[in-house]
Amino acid sequence: MVDESGRHEDAYEAVFSALAHPARRRVLLTIYFNGGSMAAGEIAAVFSHAWQTTTRHLQILEAAGLLSSARDGRMRIYHLERKRLDLVRDWLAHFSITPDPAKETP
Amino acid sequence: MVDESGRHEDAYEAVFSALAHPARRRVLLTIYFNGGSMAAGEIAAVFSHAWQTTTRHLQILEAAGLLSSARDGRMRIYHLERKRLDLVRDWLAHFSITPDPAKETP
DNA sequence: AAAATATTCAGCATGTACGCTGAATATTGA
DNA sequence: TCAATATTCAGCGTACATGCTGAATATTTT
């Protein structure tokens, strides 16, 4: 296991996989620039996909912890979980740890 | 197009897709902690996959710009392109831009 | 030149992702 | 209750990803 603890392996997997699809990255940006929360239908309206396709993307994002949701009447409001993106930052931070200088390329 | 310029759309696609696979994330970390460069065979030795499988992962990482490579005798040396990871940081930085306050959730 | 080493290419099987459509569920309004 | 609205669930087809194996290529060594 490369990760120092192993605790986040599954989380990394979920988050990085979720971010791999352009529509899902765009969902996150869309919600963010809308103030952090949006109804499923509003989000779906941004895309040319069938709305059921967007539903699945939303579920994947929620399963990855990047969104949370709550029913509000007959709508479902999705809320961006910005903190979850820190997982990506954490992973990137590995590349700031100084590696073994003995092997450093000049 | 959500991105302010659109120039990086394909790059985002390549980089985020490349990072979606745990073996490829691990390749990057492995090379990094080895000093930034490793022969294909050395990298493949880290994994339990057939080495041909690792070859393909290396090609995907190189196509995404996360690795570069050069022949050295009968070996191929892969070099980590750390700067390319800035693309991910750039994308994450979108979530630090203050969104329209009128729509801000309290 | 032949053998050994290091890596890549090509093709195959299987599983998953992602688009679609149609049906189902939940809530609201008449 | 019935119709309208908002969303989800289920199933299908296609395409792609990812593992494998075997053959091919390039380089070095004998």
Q: What is the pLDDT of residues A54-72, one digit of tens each?
A: 999 999 999 999 999 999 9
Answer yes or no: is A65 within a domain. Answer: yes
If pLDDT is split at 50, 70 and 90, which confidence band does B10 have?
confident
If pLDDT is split at 50, 70 and 90, which confidence band does B93 have?
very high
Answer yes or no: is B83 within a domain. Answer: yes
CB-CB under 8 Å, B91 with A92: no
Within 8 A by CB and 6+ apart from A31, the residues are A37, A38, A43, A67, A78, A79, A80
**A69: which chain B residues are within 8 Å (Cβ-Cβ)?**
none
Answer yes or no: is B3 within a domain. Answer: no
The tally of domains found in chain A comes to: 1
- Distance between first and last Cα of chain A: 28
For residue range A9-66, list pLDDT tens digits in order. 789 999 999 999 999 999 999 999 999 999 999 999 999 999 999 999 999 999 999 9
Of A12, A16, A104, which to mutate for an interface test with B (greatest number of B Cβ within 10 Å)? A16
Answer yes or no: is A64 within a domain. Answer: yes
- Domain hosting A13: range is 9-92
Strand partners, A37: A79
Answer yes or no: is A103 within a domain. Answer: no
For residue range B61-87, list pLDDT tens digits in order. 999 999 999 999 999 999 999 999 999
Residues whose CB is below 7 A of strand D: A 39-42, 44, 51-52, 55, 58-59, 69, 74-76; B 17, 20-21, 23, 48-50, 52-53, 56-57, 60, 71, 73-74
Answer yes or no: is A68 within a domain. Answer: yes
* Residue A38 belongs to domain with CATH number: 1.10.10.10
The answer on pLDDT for B6 being more than 50 is: no
If pLDDT is split at 50, 70 and 90, which confidence band does A105 have?
very low
CA distance A36 to chain B (A): 7
Helices (H) and strands (E) in chain B, counts: 5, 3
CB-CB under 8 Å, B9 with A91: no
What integer pLDDT is reported at residue A97 of this predicted model? 80
Answer yes or no: is A56 within a domain. Answer: yes
Answer yes or no: is A98 within a domain. Answer: no
Q: Given the structure tokens 């693309």, which residue do they identify?
A: B87
